[in-house]
Amino acid sequence: MHAQSLHATATRTATSARHVAPHAPRRTASVRCCASMPTSGETAPSRRQALASIALMSSGAMLSNCAPANAALKDYLLPGQDEVLEVSMTLGSTDGKYMFSPSTLELTQGKIYKLKLNNPSSTTHYFTALEFASKIYTLLVLAGDPVVEVKGAISEVALKAGASAIWVLMPIKPGKYPLRCTVKGHTEGGMVGTIIVNKA
């Protein structure tokens, strides 16, 4: 497999993004993703195959009746989960503090989450947890106003001042993962956190 890196921003069309409104957003979120592309003669795995693999890895449960790509999120739930779980995190603050609030996110392996990210500050902040990002399955990211839908393996999300984004994901591997903002000086200023994934 050859890895193809792409950087999708809510202000422009990318091959992995779909605009749902014609006008450019005023407040933007930037998403970095690395998508695996099939080599010549290979066939890209379907969403059914990908989610089935995750089900086996995370809980041993078999996935049945997987919905098509445009279905509601609830149609992607695995056996044992009744609804998509919502968690929220604020990047920065209105008074200029370098912080994640809450500083710790606690998730459970094999559950689908809607992670809501918001930046109320006057500067750009990054949600960077590369080790965590490599141990999850991303269904999609919604960012921008109007909304852009980004699909693929996401590595980090950057929120400009006043921006927000929703990252729909499933944690695969239990562990404790560091989180930080990679804007120069922000990590040193205390903008760090932790993501804990508990075993199912």
Q: Looking at the predicted structure, is the pLDDT value of residue 92 above 80?
A: yes
Which tokens belong to 92? 């920065």
Which tokens belong to 42? 């290979």
Burial-class residue 92 by CB neighbours within 10 Å (0-12, 13-18, 19+). Answer: buried
Q: Tens of pLDDT along 103-149?
A: 999 999 999 999 999 999 999 999 999 999 999 999 999 987 778 88
Q: Where do the DSSP E strands lie in the chain?
A: 2-9, 17-19, 29-37, 85-91, 100-101, 104-108, 113-118, 125-128, 136-143, 148-150, 154-159, 164-171, 175-180, 192-198
The reported pLDDT for the residue numbered 81 is 82
Least confidently predicted of 12-21, 92-101, 176-185:
12-21
The reported pLDDT for the residue numbered 11 is 35
Asked if residues 37 and 4 have their Cβ atoms less than 8 Å apart, the reply is yes
d(CA 4, CA 27): 27
Predicted TM-score of the model (pTM): 0.67
The reported pLDDT for the residue numbered 64 is 30
The reported pLDDT for the residue numbered 32 is 57
The reported pLDDT for the residue numbered 178 is 98
What confidence category does residue 28 fall into, taking pLDDT thresholds of 50, 70 and 90? low
d(CA 167, CA 107): 14
Q: Looking at the predicted structure, is the pLDDT value of residue 30 above 80?
A: no
Q: Tens of pLDDT along 70-87?
A: 346 777 777 878 889 999
d(CA 65, CA 41): 28
The reported pLDDT for the residue numbered 174 is 97
The reported pLDDT for the residue numbered 186 is 98
d(CA 93, CA 35): 32
d(CA 138, CA 126): 18
d(CA 121, CA 93): 5
**In a 3-state reduction of DSSP, which class is residue 57?**
helix
